[in-house]
Amino acid sequence: MRKIMKKSIIFLGLFLVMFGWVIKSNVQASTPIELYDNVWRLINTKYVDQTNNEQDWGKWRHKYDNVIKSEDDAYVAIDTMVASLNDPYTKFLNPKEFADETGSIKGSLKGIGIQIGVKDGKLMVIAPIEDTPAEKAGLMADDEILSIDGKSTKGITVDKAADQIRGEEGTQVTLLIKRKDMEPKEYTITRAEIEIKSVSQKVPDNIKIPSDISYIRLSSFISRNASKEFADILNNSQNKKAFIVDLRSNPGGLLSNAIYISDMFLDGGAIVSTVDRDGYKETQKATRGVLTTKPVVILLNKGSASASEIFSGAMKDNKRAVLVGTQSFGKGLVQEINKLPNNSGINITIQKYLTPNGTDIHKKGITPDIIVDLTEENIKNKDDAQLKKAIEVAQSLASGNYVVSK
C-alpha cells in the first residue's frame, strides 16, 4: 500500500470480509453536503477500479446538492452512490458502525461477552466468551434468548439484538433465557469491557491432541493483539514436534497480523503482493526471523477468508505447511478505512492481492492439499474428521514419514 499503509485488515461474516485496513483521518468539521463530497473524492482517487464499475463517476458529485439538508440525508445519498460500484466491500459506516469496527481492532468491546446468532428464526447463544459476565452468569451455548430488557426477540436480526445487548460498562441488561427441558429464566447481567481474544488452544469436544503436537485455534486476525498472542504460544511450545493452526471460519482481520504470523514460520521469501489501481505492485517479504522450523498443518474451510488466505497462501506457496479441509472463501481485495467528519467512515477497496506464486484467489479461494469434507453425520455426532486428518498429517510430518491415507 506504498507509504500510506498504517493498518490493514481482512475479515468476513459478522466483521464483513475485508483484507486491507488503512485508517486515514479526514475529520475536519464539515456540512452534510461536504461529507458527501468528501466520500465522492476519496472513491474518485482511491478506488481500485478506475472505471468505477464502468460508469461516469462525475455524474454523482452534484447529484444530490439540492437534496442533502442533514447528516441522515447525506448517509442515504452516500449509500446510494456507493451501491453503484456493486462492491460489497466498499461501504459507508455511520458513527456507531465505525466505532464497533475500531473497537474490534483494539481487541475490546463493551457488553456481556456472548456470541449470538439466529437459528430457525430463534435468537440463540452460540457461545459465551471465556471469563466474561455472560459466562459468569451461567449463560450456555444453545440457550435461546426470548427477550432483551422485556422486549421480545421474535423476528429480530443479529445486528439489532447486538445493539440492544451492548451498552456502557457498569449498566445492566436483562435476558429471558430458555434452555432445553427447563422453564424460561431471567438473567440480569452487568456489562463490562470485554477483551477479545483471537488465539486459543482449546480443543474441540471428542478430540484428543497428542502431547507432542501443539493445536492453535486462530479465530480472527482482527485484534491488534492477535500476533502477540500467537507468538506467545509458539514461544511456549518449543518442545512440540508439530503445529496445527486451525483457521476454519476465520473471517480475517489485520493485514499486519497475517504478515507477522507468516513471518514467524518463514525464513525469507514472499508473503503477499498487493496491486493498486495504477498497476503498482508491492511485495511483502519475510524478514523478522522464524520462531519455529517445526512442521505445520493448516485447517481451512469455506469460512476461511482474507487474512486467513494470506497466511495459508504464503505457507502453501513457500512449501512451509500442508493445508487440510475444504476450499477457502476467496477474498482477494484490500480495503482502506477512512475516518470521516462526525466519526463516520468509509471502507474503500484500493488494491487486490496475490499469493507468493502470483495467484489471484479472489472468488476462487485456496484449495487445500488434502480435501476433507465434514458430512452432516460428522457434524451431528461432533466427529471432527478434518481435525483428525490434520493430526494424522502432523504426526506423519513430525516423524519425517509423510504418508497420508486416502
Domain assignment present for 151: yes
Q: What is the CATH number of the domain that holds 161?
A: 2.30.42.10
What total of structural domains would you count in the chain?
A: 3
Quick one: 77 and 219 in the same domain? no
What's the mean per-residue pLDDT of the chain? 88
Domain assignment present for 343: no
Highest average pLDDT, of 62-66, 163-167, 193-197, 299-303, comes from 62-66
Q: Which residues are catalytic?
A: 306, 317, 331
Residue 336's DSSP bridge partners are 348
Domain assignment present for 178: yes
Is there a contact between 312 and 321 (Cβ–Cβ < 8 Å)? Answer: yes
Domain assignment present for 404: no
CA distance 19 to 252: 7
CA distance 354 to 295: 24
Domain assignment present for 339: no
* Residue 327 CB contacts under 8 Å (≥ 6 apart), including other chains: 300, 302, 365, 366, 367, 368
CA distance 209 to 214: 8
Residue 394's SS3 state is helix
Domain assignment present for 133: yes
Confidence of residue 24 (pLDDT cuts 50, 70, 90): low
pTM: 0.78
Q: What is the CATH number of the domain that holds 73?
A: 3.30.750.44
Q: In the numeric block, which cell numbers belong to residue 212?
A: 507432542
CA distance 332 to 294: 28
Quick one: 323 and 277 in the same domain? yes
Domain assignment present for 341: no
Quick one: 250 and 294 in the same domain? yes
Q: Is the pLDDT of residue 313 over 60?
A: yes
Q: Is the pLDDT of residue 224 over 90?
A: no
Quick one: 188 and 206 in the same domain? no
Residue 178's DSSP bridge partners are 144
Task: Determine if residue 272 is left, alpha or beta; phi over 0 gives left, psi from -120 to 50 gives alpha, anything else beta.
Answer: beta
DSSP 127-184: EEPTTSHHHHHT--TT-EEEEETTEE-TT--HHHHHHHH---TT-EEEEEEE-TTS--
CA distance 200 to 217: 5
Tens digit of each residue's pLDDT (9 = 90 or more) over 66-124: 999 999 999 999 999 999 999 988 999 998 888 878 877 776 778 898 878 787 889 99
Q: Is the pLDDT of residue 13 over 50?
A: no
Residue with cell 525464513: 267
Predicted pLDDT of residue 230: 97
Q: Pick from 63, 91, 106: which residue ends a domain?
A: 106
Q: Is the pLDDT of residue 21 over 70?
A: no
Q: What is the CATH number of the domain that holds 268?
A: 3.90.226.10
Residue 281's DSSP bridge partners are 275
Domain assignment present for 406: no
Is there a contact between 125 and 140 (Cβ–Cβ < 8 Å)? Answer: yes
CA atoms within 13 A on the CB side of 403: 2
Quick one: 191 and 252 in the same domain? no
Q: In the numeric block, which cell numbers belong to residue 179?
A: 434452555
Q: Is the pLDDT of residue 379 over 80?
A: no
Residue 291: CB atoms within 10 Å: 17
CA distance 220 to 346: 22
Quick one: 40 and 98 in the same domain? yes
Q: Pick from 140, 163, 195: which residue ends a domain?
A: 195
Longest pairwise C-alpha distance within the chain: 72
Quick one: 185 and 223 in the same domain? no
Quick one: 113 and 102 in the same domain? no
When pLDDT is averaged across residues 174-201 and rounded to a whole number, the result is 91
Question: Phi then psi for 215, rounded to 5 degrees?
Answer: -100, 125
CA distance 131 to 32: 43
Question: Phi then psi for 97, rounded to 5 degrees?
Answer: -65, -40
Predicted pLDDT of residue 19: 42
Residue 270's DSSP bridge partners are 285
Residue 95 buriedness (CB in 10 A; 0-12 / 13-18 / 19+) = middle
Quick one: 43 and 102 in the same domain? yes
Residue with cell 460489497: 88
Domain span at 249: 199-332+351-399
Residue 114: CB atoms within 10 Å: 26
Residue 242: CB atoms within 10 Å: 23
Quick one: 172 and 287 in the same domain? no
Q: Residue 204 has what DSSP assignment?
A: P
Quick one: 274 and 186 in the same domain? no
Quick one: 289 and 391 in the same domain? yes
Q: Pick from 157, 179, 195: which residue ends a domain?
A: 195
